[in-house]
């Protein structure tokens, strides 16, 4: 299928061939008929992309600071990779469309194939096919006007602004800024029985509003404008003012104060500064200033938008979904007519010209639609990108002696630490196919790293006979199922941590691996991305402390993760104990060469019960002890990780995988690296070598099993306040058998 994309590095816009997006739980697949260009928001994005690198840096100071911080902590290579991932990616545009349902996730029941719908949100892009969460999609009448319906997102934004003004029948509202959002606000206000004043600095927009959407239309620079508004409001002033303008000036907010009545409401919907003058209006009139957040309640809430949970209407009457539905009802009933707003309609292949028109202002415009060829059948196949050099390499390489790779999930971590470390010029390493959550993500990864094809269907990877090795770097909740499918298909499997999110999933994987997993012969290898044990300084530390009982301290200044991050979601990310503390458990297992037998954990109380600031004490079979201090409440100025190991009269201190200090026999030895090395490169090299040379798994399965099991026991210990054994012979004989068979 085709999708309009842009590269941030050059600003170049392309109608690109991309795979059909993957349909996941809670989503509706829609064949677009029309999509709306949001001239304000999208033009700003396009304009920023066309700036120089210095201009881009000035435009995004926060991201620049992140790059500088990464440069300090992880080195130039990782900072460069992070920047290039952003600059070279194919970025989608658009967030409002209408079309026909062509497929549904199994858990979506409120729609049927063939329904006409209007969609909103970032996935409702300028693309022939989109997959949209059900709560960002509303059903239309069979005879609905899909051109007008495509205004869905902007209509909901305008409606939320009107609701924030909280006006009553017969009251007066001024709309400052008569662009597309301003026109929509004015139409909604008039349909609600509100007397509307429209104000803009563009006389053409003033004239259009006077004809279609407002009762009094004025140019901001018109003399006596305040007097005219006071006269229109019968000497009272405006009950409400909605600012839809986009400006760096303080004039819109201060002018709103001047024309408001006492105790009036000002709603900031547009991108304007709010540093208003306290005197004479805001203080003396006791004005109320409100912000309007996008489409309404539910916006930016993953539970609502991604998982499909609704808010009870009795408590939250107007969600973003209900705002969209109300907007569509007004269109269908004829109470508002948007036809005059559509000044241009472009075919998808001509869409880049629409943005040139907007940026160059070569002719007047308001609403610009992209029209799709609906007679064209949907292509659900993968997008082949085979280059001649890779084709010749694929022919030359004998399949049994080559690692032919498929990638499922290629987000920031994979593109920064995994894919760059896969050798590109070896005949025995072939990058076959890649799949990510989005169409543009798949195509971006394929183009950047040289995959032969990209796809939106995991079966194109899992069932591909030309692929013998699969990397899994998706969100955590998908790991266990994809590992099962990959191993069952006979594929060597590398999965990013964690291996799984529940003990039941772990037992299923253990059964699949038959507990005596070694990866020999034709058996597929299983590898979890516990990269720290492959760091050069980690290997030096292990050699320095030797074997036998030792005491280990692992301190992690983990940092804060927002409460709405998918990582904190127990169903998707599993939380930070399962999702990240597993790294440090594996490292202690590696250093002391023995499996844990029991743990005690305590977590600091927090408002959300995330348990992301905690201390863990582990006992090991060889008599070693280890402490993991994982703290999310510290300052970022302190380096993230430090490991201390005390053994046989010596002490080794590993500082953030940049330097290693060994104290022994009264002497001090120190090894420093030029930049941080957490072992990702060596991890990938050894994994591919094990495949190509028929070696054993890099990490024995009993260690992978023990690491995951320990994370579940940590949560149990926090919950019960008790010391907890890792294995329970009485409750699960298989666990005991595992210990006996490997120790």
- Specify the residue for token string 């070569």: 362
Confidence of residue 200 (pLDDT cuts 50, 70, 90): very high
Instruction: Tell me the C-alpha distance between 11 and 396, whole Å.
Output: 38
- Residue 252 tokens read as 């819109």
Q: pLDDT tens for residues 20-57?
A: 999 999 999 999 999 999 988 887 777 776 766 666 56
CB count in 10 Å sphere of residue 141: 12
Task: Supply the pLDDT for residue 609.
Answer: 78
Distances (CA, A) of 413 to 78, 390, 417, 497, 742: 10, 25, 6, 12, 33
Average pLDDT of the residues in 688-707 = 95
Give the model's pLDDT for residue 57. Answer: 62
Greatest mean pLDDT range, 381-385, 562-566, 596-600: 596-600
- What is the separation of C-alpha 218 from the centre of its chain, rounded to a whole number of angstroms? 43
Give me the DSSP letters along 285-316: TT-EEEE--TTSTTTT-HHHHTS-PPPPTTT-
Per-residue pLDDT, 393: 46
pLDDT recorded at residue 85 = 67
CA dist., res. 662 & res. 153, Å (int): 60
> 531-742 has which CATH code?
3.30.360.10
pTM attached to this predicted model: 0.88
pLDDT of residue 425: 84
Whether the pLDDT of residue 522 is over 70: the answer is: no
What is the tens place of the pLDDT at every residue in 253-310?
999 999 999 999 999 999 999 999 999 999 999 999 999 999 999 999 999 999 999 9
pLDDT tens string 675-694: 899 999 999 999 999 999 99
- Reduced to 3 states (helix: H, G, I; strand: E, B; else coil), residue 334 is coil
Helix (H) or strand (E) holding 555: strand 551-557
Residue 412 has pLDDT above 60, yes or no: yes
CA gap 728, 95 in Å, rounded = 52
Bigger pLDDT: 520 vs 697: 697
Instruction: Give the count of beta carbons closer than 10 Å to the beta carbon of residue 563.
Output: 11
pLDDT of residue 47: 75
Cα gap 129→124, rounded to integer Å: 9
- Cα distance between residue 467 and residue 474, in whole Å: 18
**Domain coordinates in residue numbering, the chain:** 2-151+302-371, 158-291, 531-742
Q: What whole-number distance in Å separates Cα of residue 454 and Cα of residue 18?
A: 8
Tell which CATH classification among 1.10.10.1150, 3.90.180.10, 3.40.50.700, 3.40.190.10 matches the domain 2-151+302-371: 3.90.180.10
User: What CA–CA distance (Å, rounded) separates 200 from 244?
Assistant: 10
In angstroms, the CA 80 to CA 686 distance is: 24
pLDDT band at 741 (very low <50, low <70, confident <90, very high): very low
Region 622-633: mean pLDDT is 97
Q: Check whether 515 has a pLDDT greater than 60.
A: no
328-377 pLDDT tens trace: 999 999 999 999 999 999 999 999 999 999 988 889 999 999 999 999 88
Fold type of domain 158-291: Rossmann fold (3.40.50)
Could you report how far apart the first and last alpha carbons of the chain are, in Å? 54
Taking only the tens place, the pLDDT of each residue in 51-87 is 666 665 666 677 667 766 766 677 777 676 677 667 7
């Amino acid at each position: 299928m085709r999708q309009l994309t842009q590269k941030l590095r050059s600003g170049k816009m392309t109608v690109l061939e991309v795979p059909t997006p993957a349909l996941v739980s809670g989503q509706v697949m829609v064949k677009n008929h029309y999509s709306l260009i949001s001239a304000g928001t999208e033009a700003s994005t396009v304009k920023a992309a066309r700036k120089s690198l210095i201009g881009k840096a000035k435009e995004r100071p926060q991201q620049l600071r992140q790059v500088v911080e990464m440069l300090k902590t992880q080195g130039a290579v990782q900072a460069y990779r992070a920047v290039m991932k952003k600059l070279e990616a194919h970025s989608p545009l658009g967030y409002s469309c209408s079309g026909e349902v062509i497929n549904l996730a199994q858990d979506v029941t409120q729609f049927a194939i063939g329904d006409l719908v209007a969609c909103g949100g970032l996935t409702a892009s300028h693309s022939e096919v989109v997959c949209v969460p059900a709560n960002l999609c509303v059903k239309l009448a069979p005879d609905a006007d899909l051109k007008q319906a495509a205004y869905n997102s902007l209509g909901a934004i305008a409606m939320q602004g009107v609701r924030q003004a909280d006006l009553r029948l017969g009251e007066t509202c001024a709309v400052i800024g008569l662009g597309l959002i301003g026109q929509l606000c004015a139409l909604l206000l008039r349909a609600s029985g509100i007397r509307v004043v429209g104000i803009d600095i563009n006389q053409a927009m003033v004239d259009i509003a006077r004809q279609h959407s407002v009762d009094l239309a004025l140019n901001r620079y018109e003399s006596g404008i305040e007097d005219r508004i006071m006269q229109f409001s019968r000497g009272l002033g405006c009950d409400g003012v909605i600012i839809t303008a986009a400006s760096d000036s303080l004039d819109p907010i201060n002018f709103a104060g001047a024309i408001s009545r006492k105790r009036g409401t000002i709603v900031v919907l547009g991108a304007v500064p709010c540093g208003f003058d306290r005197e004479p209006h805001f203080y003396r009139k006791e004005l109320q200033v409100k912000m309007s957040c996008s489409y309404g309640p539910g916006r930016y809430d993953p539970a609502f938008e991604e998982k499909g949970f609704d808010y009870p209407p009795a408590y939250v009457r107007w969600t973003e979904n209900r705002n969209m539905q109300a907007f569509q009802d007004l269109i269908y009933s004829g109470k508002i007519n948007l036809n005059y707003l559509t000044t241009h309609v472009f075919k998808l292949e001509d869409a880049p010209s629409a943005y040139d028109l907007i940026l160059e202002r070569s002719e007047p415009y308001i609403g610009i639609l992209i029209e799709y060829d609906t007679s064209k059948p949907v292509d659900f196949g993968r997008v082949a990108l085979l280059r001649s050099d890779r084709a010749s390499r694929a022919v030359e390489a004998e399949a049994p002696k080559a690692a032919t790779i498929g990638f499922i999930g290629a987000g920031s971590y994979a593109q920064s630490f995994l894919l760059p470390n896969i050798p590109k010029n070896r005949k025995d390493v072939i990058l076959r196919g890649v799949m990510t959550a989005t169409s543009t993500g798949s195509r971006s990864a394929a183009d950047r790293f040289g995959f032969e094809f990209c796809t939106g269907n995991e079966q194109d990877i899992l069932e591909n006979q030309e692929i013998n090795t699969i990397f899994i770097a998706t969100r955590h909740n998908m790991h266990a199922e994809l590992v099962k499918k990959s191993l069952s298909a006979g594929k060597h499997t590398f999965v990013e941590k964690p291996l799984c999110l529940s003990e039941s999933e772990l037992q299923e994987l253990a059964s699949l691996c038959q507990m005596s997993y070694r990866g020999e012969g034709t058996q597929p290898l299983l590898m979890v991305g516990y990269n720290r044990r492959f760091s050069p300084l980690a290997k030096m530390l292990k050699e320095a402390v030797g074997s036998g009982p030792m005491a280990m301290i692992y301190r992690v200044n983990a940092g804060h993760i927002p409460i709405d991050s998918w990582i904190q979601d127990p169903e998707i990310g599993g939380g930070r104990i399962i999702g990240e503390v597993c790294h440090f458990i594996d490292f202690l297992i590696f250093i002391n060469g023995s499996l844990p037998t029991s743990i005690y954990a305590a977590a600091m109380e927090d408002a959300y019960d995330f348990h992301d600031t905690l201390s863990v004490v582990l006992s090991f079979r060889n008599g070693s002890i280890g402490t993991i201090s994982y703290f999310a409440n510290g300052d970022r100025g302190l380096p993230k990780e430090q490991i201390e190991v005390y053994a046989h009269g010596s002490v080794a201190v590993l500082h953030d995988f940049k330097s290693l200090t060994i104290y022994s026999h009264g002497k001090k030895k120190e090894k420093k690296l030029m930049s941080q090395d957490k072992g990702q490169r060596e991890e990938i090299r050894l994994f591919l070598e094990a495949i190509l040379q028929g070696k054993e798994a890099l990490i024995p399965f009993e260690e992978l099993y023990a690491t995951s099991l320990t994370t579940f026991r940590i949560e149990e210990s926090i919950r019960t306040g008790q010391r907890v054994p890792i294995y329970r012979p009485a409750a699960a004989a298989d666990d005991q058998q595992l210990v006996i068979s490997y120790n």
